[in-house]
């Protein structure tokens, strides 16, 4: 069975085109880059395979790559995030699209394999979000004989790529488009923070004010969720294993507790780490009846679903995104979106204005690689801080926000990473 999108219904295509129109209007930075490259078509010789959540915002990025001359094949890369109407609209425009909403993990992997094999001679560039494409390319190098480089935009994905580089497995350059202030502080904190809380409210309809809301993890995503939930009146408690992030959470005014203490009396629990098995059986045993469980980290395995199944007597679908697990001891807990990404399943993902910045970084990285990937050695490469500053200034211009222009000496400090709080600073997850 192939997961290639073919002959999509006309009504679905029209819905997708309308969604893309809405996103495009809210993504002026990408529109500016598209206008710069549409005439010269610098990606004319490139075959780009992408594995990024297939939302309307991602669709605008795909349109830019096509306008720049690339042949493009794409998959959403997870179980719940693909917006079928957007997939239909892109497929109708000639993009090779693989996958659909509501896939199993095995089907996701097959769609990734199909995306990688969509071109006769394989892709020349990869645009990744969680290393599914990169890992597949490393596992089967014969399928990518012309591959020259890739980009990766998740914290966990960049950690894995660095490990592969240290092990000598990475045979091509990978540009890290995650560790940027414009990505971490805008996309992860404000974008995912808002869309996660939006997804929880849409899925459950509960009032957050007064609820005990446990956030597991306090990287940029966890911090954003905690801030948004507190802003809606929730009593937020943070769990984290890093002493550095625990200090940040405490100084931000949040109680910090070990999970077995934090989960007692929890109304809502949200994982936000990117690591598997963050909540296991021992944690589930500490939950009160009626607790809501959800995940906004990159991995669908953050909540150990096997441990939950062992404790479950029966399940009921009580709302479109809510599966009630009635446990053997009589308690019940409500699992949202099957443990997948709540912000992409029950809500619409990060706002278009946010993804305008993140995808600007990715688009510019792809254009740079097309022009000079042969000058990069295999391994992980950072985006220069000057580019981070440039994207931020493009966004400010689109927002009609003016700031003082730095002197050449100040600009050097701003982009060197030598000044605390500058755009060159690399804050930890």
- Binding-site residues from annotation for NAD(+): 219-224, 343
User: Measured between alpha carbons, how far is 406 from 386 in angstroms, rounded to an integer?
Assistant: 13
Binding residues: 219-224, 343
Tokens representing residue 61 in the block: 């990025």
* Ordered DSSP codes for 267-286: SEEEE-SS-S-SB-HHHHHH
Q: Are 124 and 146 in contact (CB under 8 A)?
A: yes
Q: Are 395 and 29 in contact (CB under 8 A)?
A: yes
Phi-psi region of 388 (alpha: psi -120 to 50; beta: other; left: phi over 0): alpha
User: Measured between alpha carbons, how far is 102 from 300 in angstroms, rounded to an integer?
Assistant: 13
292-305: b (≥16 Cβ within 10 Å) or e: bbbbbbbbbbbbbb
Distance of CA 344 to the CA centre of its chain: 9
Q: Are 86 and 58 in contact (CB under 8 A)?
A: yes
């Amino acid at each position: 069975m192939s997961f290639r999108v073919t002959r999509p219904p006309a009504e679905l295509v029209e819905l997708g085109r309308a969604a893309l129109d809405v996103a495009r209007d809210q993504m002026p930075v990408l529109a500016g880059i598209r206008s710069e490259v549409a005439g010269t078509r610098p990606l004319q010789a490139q075959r780009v395979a992408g594995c990024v959540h297939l939302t309307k915002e991602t669709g605008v990025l795909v349109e830019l790559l096509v306008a720049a001359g690339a042949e493009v094949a794409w998959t959403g890369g997870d179980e719940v995030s693909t917006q079928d109407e957007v997939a239909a609209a892109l497929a109708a425009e000639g993009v090779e699209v693989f996958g659909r909403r509501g896939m199993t993990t095995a089907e996701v992997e097959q769609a990734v394999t199909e995306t990688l094999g969509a071109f006769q001679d394989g892709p020349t560039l990869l645009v990744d979000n969680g290393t599914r494409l990169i890992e597949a390319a490393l596992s089967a190098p014969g399928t990518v004989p012309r591959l020259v480089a890739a980009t990766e935009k998740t914290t966990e994905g960049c950690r894995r790529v660095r490990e592969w580089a240290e092990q000598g497995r990475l045979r091509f350059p990978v540009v890290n488009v995650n560790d940027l202030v414009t990505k971490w502080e805008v996309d992860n904190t404000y974008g995912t923070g808002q869309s996660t809380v939006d997804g929880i409210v849409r899925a459950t309809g509960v009032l957050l004010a007064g609820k005990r809301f446990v956030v597991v993890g306090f990287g940029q995503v966890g911090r954003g969720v905690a801030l948004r939930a507190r802003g809606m009146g929730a009593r937020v408690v943070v769990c984290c294993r890093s002493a550095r992030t625990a200090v940040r959470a405490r100084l931000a005014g949040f109680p910090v507790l070990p999970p077995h203490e934090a989960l007692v009396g929890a109304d809502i629990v949200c994982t936000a780490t990117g690591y598997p098995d963050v909540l296991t059986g021992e944690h589930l045993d500490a939950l009160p009846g009626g607790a809501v469980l959800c995940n906004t980290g990159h991995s669908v395995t953050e909540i150990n679903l096997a441990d939950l199944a062992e404790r479950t007597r029966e399940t009921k679908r009580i709302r479109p995104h809510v599966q009630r697990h009635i446990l053997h001891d009589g308690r019940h807990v409500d699992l949202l979106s099957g443990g997948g990404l709540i912000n992409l399943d029950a809500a619409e993902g990060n706002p278009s204005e946010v993804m305008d910045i993140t995808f600007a970084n990715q688009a510019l990285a792809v254009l740079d690689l097309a022009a000079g990937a042969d000058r990069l050695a295999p391994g992980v490469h950072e985006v220069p801080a000057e580019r981070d500053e440039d994207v931020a200034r493009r966004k400010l211009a689109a927002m009609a926000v003016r700031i003082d222009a730095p002197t050449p000496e100040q600009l050097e400090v701003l982009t060197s990473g030598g000044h605390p709080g500058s755009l060159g600073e690399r804050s930890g997850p």
